[in-house]
A and B are shown apart, each in its own frame.
Chain A
Amino acid sequence: MEQGRSIVHFVNVGKTYDGERLIVDDLSLEIARGEFLTLLGPSGSGKTTTLMMLAGFETPTRGQILLNGQEINRLAPHRRGIGMVFQNYALFPHMTVAENLAFPLNVRALGKAEVEARVIRALDLVKLGGFAARRPAQLSGGQQQRIAVARALIFEPELVLMDEPLGALDKQLREGMQYEIRELHQRLGVTIVYVTHDQAEALTMSDRIAVFDQGKIQQLASPTELYEKPRTSFVANFVGDNNLMAAEVDTLRSDHLCSVVLEGGAKVIAVATDELMPGQKVMLSVRPERLRLDPDAGAGTSSRLKGVIEEIVYLGDHMRIFVRTANQVRFLIKAANKEPHHGLTKGGMLTFGWSAQDCRALPV
């Protein structure tokens, strides 16, 4: 990507706190101008450290971070002009909402009239017009969140970082705020780098998602691709529900498919995701909603298994059925509640299957 399209470039960035363990390991990542990029991963995967290095609160041990083509490794945070929304909002408790919003403008020595106008505009932007004189402690969590977002945007940074900004909100509020942040992003065209450990949030909001584990990006892709075509078993498991089966590659076929042998000896056909070798250990991944309860009815079912129903959980729009096969693999099946499922009882036998296109063989 040439300079115009890429705003941030991580080049082989590494970070260690003790000289032994790499919290971030040889990370290379380009962030496009105007995109909404989410860093997703479990705690300790290096996503927050990556964000903090970009913000300037941590210094990379090696490698380079470029902002608009300039190296910023040792640039002080306050000279970077990057907006940031903190996990607990970090609104200044001794200032009113208006003073909080005016803070970044005042330190940039903007004129008084300009500051006032921008504060009013920012408050309107987050729909909190009448709250200028309040103190942060007098606002609800959702309102504080919006002020924090407005404060990070008010000095019109090209790039805004958000560190688990919705973590402290309850579920319903969180979904509303996800929508609002997404809308602000589209309206203002600002680049957003967003850190979360919540995969549903990442899928809802992002243009692209970088899945972090062990200090490395496991996969960088759009939400659809990440869900439909996970490249590693970690990604398959971390993003969405998943059924995993240990298997061994038997033969490779020309059409990106391969034949694998399950631990019990059964042979199934799966999509070969990578350069696989015969005899290689793999993990088979099938999404629970792609498992079919009536494998004989539809065309394209290439593999079938039999098991005992352990539990049926009714969830209104769908049912979750837990099945244990003869070789003790536990499967989760999500069955849409569009036709009555007769004869499904706890303890009963069930035959289920899937299409080869829905089963991916992932290198271990």
Chain B
Amino acid sequence: MTVTAITSPDDSRSIKRELTRSLRRRKLQAFVLVAPLLLFILFMFIYPIGGMLLRSVYSPDFARAMPATVAAIAEWPGSGTPPETVWAGVARDMLALQQRNEAGPVAAALNVEMSGARSLVLKTARNAGKLTAPYREAMVTLDPMWNDARIWQAIKRLSSPVTPRFYLAAVDMKVDEAGSIVSQPEDRQIYRSLFLRTLLISGVVTLCCLILGYPVAHLLANLPLRISNILMIFVLLPFWTSLLVRTTAWIVLLQKQGVVNSLLVWSHVLTDETRAELIFNRTGTILAMTHILLPFMILPLYSVMKTVSPVYMKAARSLGANQFVAFTKVYVPQTFAGVAAGCLLVFILAVGYYITPALVGGESGTLISNMIAYHIQKSLNWGLAAALGAILLTAILALYWTFNRLTKIDIIGLG
């Protein structure tokens, strides 16, 4: 570029000021255009996700519902029997809950900490009006379970609004009676194996998509444009077909009275009594998810393969490589970017999948998303759902971030 210094420094400064001002104006103009959507996403998407993540560590509901108890139990060291003030606090809170008809959530929360506590709480709340001092005797008479120190330890744990217990629960751990962190008993461990299963199924689905998608993408990329455009429509058709329609199709095909089983019976491979369980289990989930996610593998593969010039293969052949060597040593490495993008996309989508496993997964084919939904809708253990969601989200973001750093490929731009 041309280099000539501006003579007067004053002049230079005023010009610079002018330039900075006009630059700022243009930046502002660009930002004003982006601002509406950015604010929309920040307030309607990022903010609620933050709120949900907060729920995984912050749970003031119990403390809010039992103010007298929480105030009193702070004095109790955690071993032996709590003092009478705590008992009185519980009795008072129970009465208030009963009057407001809000004992349910407290019972549910306590039940998560100690099984059997639900009926205890509900029963106590129902009879709260009849309790009189000394409350200890009255409550133990009502239900001897109140004598169990563990119930008081559970109440003390719940009385703190900031808590690690949801994250502990999400990895099958808990704070035991002695206050130390231990694994859940063997028969109550579900989340670790569920996370593992989610990763496993997602991995298998990703692999299946790659095996099926790679040759198809290769074919699409190498056919004349007129033909490949038509075939592309077939790839995109399921993409555009309702997810539920595709899942329905798999149920129709694979269920016990479905098309595949009927065909097998008709061709005497199976009898009516031995119809195969193809769906409502892990097989069904893997089959249906592979089908549904296949386009997400093919599209990035295709767009990368489109850019690989056929000259390289010819060059390899002229240098003495046979078709197989030329393909594996020359062609395949050039498509790694597409493979990586496709695999990441499919894996990320599979890890967070909800609909298909819920419909065709049965008992053994459900994924972590389904468990989150269960805790939101059925068990109402929102803190645990939030903790599971936070782990899932963190895993996906970490995966995405690592991928972006490693490959600098924009998987989003595959449109």
Measured CB to CB, the residues of A under 8 A from B are: 16-23, 25, 44-46, 61, 214-216
Minimum C-beta distance from B325 to chain A (A): 40
CB neighbours of A16 from chain B (8 A): 6, 15, 19
Q: Which of B1-38 contact A (CB under 8 A)?
A: 1-6, 12-13, 15-16, 18-19
13 contacts between A and B (CB under 8 A): A16-B6, A18-B16, A19-B19, A20-B12, A21-B1, A21-B2, A21-B3, A22-B6, A23-B1, A25-B4, A44-B2, A61-B15, A214-B4
Shortest C-beta distance, B4 to chain A (Å), equals 4
Which residues of B are found within 8 Å of A25, using beta-carbon distances? 2, 4
Partner of A19, one of B1, B2, B3, B12: B12
The answer to whether A214 touches B12, judged by C-beta atoms less than 8 angstroms apart, is no
Partner of A215, one of B2, B15, B16: B2
A45 CA to B18 CA, complexed, in Å: 24
Shortest Cβ gap from B19 to chain A (Å): 5
From A19, A22, A23, contact of B16 by CB (8 A): A19
Q: How far is the CA of A317 from the CA of B17 in the complex (A)?
A: 59
A-side contacts of B13, CB under 8 Å: 19
B2 contacts A46, CB within 8 Å? yes
- Contact partner of A22 among B2, B18, B19, CB < 8 A? B2
| Bound-state Cα–Cα, A23 to B174, Å | 70
> Residues of B within 8 Å of A, CB-based: how many?
12
Residues of A within 8 A of B18 (CB): 19
The list of the 9 closest CB pairs from A to B, nearest first, reads A19-B16, A215-B2, A19-B15, A22-B4, A25-B4, A44-B1, A214-B2, A19-B12, A19-B19
Q: Which residues from chain B contact A61 at a C-beta distance below 8 Å?
A: 15
Q: How far is the CA of A18 from the CA of B3 in the complex (A)?
A: 11
Closest to B17 in A: A19
Complex Cα gap A215–B13 (Å): 20
Q: Tell me the nearest residue of chain B to A43, going by C-beta.
A: B1
Identity of the chain B residue whose Cβ is nearest the Cβ of A59 in the assembled complex: B22
Cα–Cα distance between A19 and B14 once the two chains are bound (Å)? 8
Q: Please, which residues of chain B bring their CB within 8 A of the CB of A20?
A: 5-6, 12, 16
User: Contacts of B3 on A, CB cut-off 8 Å?
Assistant: 21, 214
Which of chain B's residues have a CB closer than 8 A to the CB of A46? 2
Give the CA-CA distance A46 to B12 in the complex, in Å. 19
Contacts of A214 in B (CB 8 A): 2-4
**Bound form: Cα–Cα A346–B25 in Å:** 65
Q: Report Cα–Cα, A153/B292, bound state, in Å.
A: 57
How many angstroms between the C-alpha atoms of A45 and B2 in the bound complex? 6
Distance in angstroms from A203 CB to nearest chain B CB is 24
Q: How far is the CA of A268 from the CA of B275 in the complex (A)?
A: 108
User: In angstroms, how far is the closest chain B Cβ from the Cβ of A320?
Assistant: 32
Measured in the bound complex, the distance between the Cα atoms of B181 and A360 in whole Å is 94
List of B residues within 8 angstroms of A216 by Cβ = 4
**Complex CA distance for A46 and B2, rounded to whole angstroms:** 8
Q: Are B4 and A215 in contact (CB under 8 A)?
A: yes
Evaluate contact between B4 and A18: CB separation under 8 angstroms. Answer: no
Q: Which residue of A lies closest to B2 (CB)?
A: A215
Q: Is the CB of A19 within 8 A of B4?
A: no
What is the chain A residue whose CB lies nearest that of B13?
Answer: A19
Kindly provide the distance from the CB of A29 to the nearest chain B CB, expressed in whole angstroms. 16
In the assembly, what is the distance between CA of A215 and CA of B15, in Å?
Answer: 18
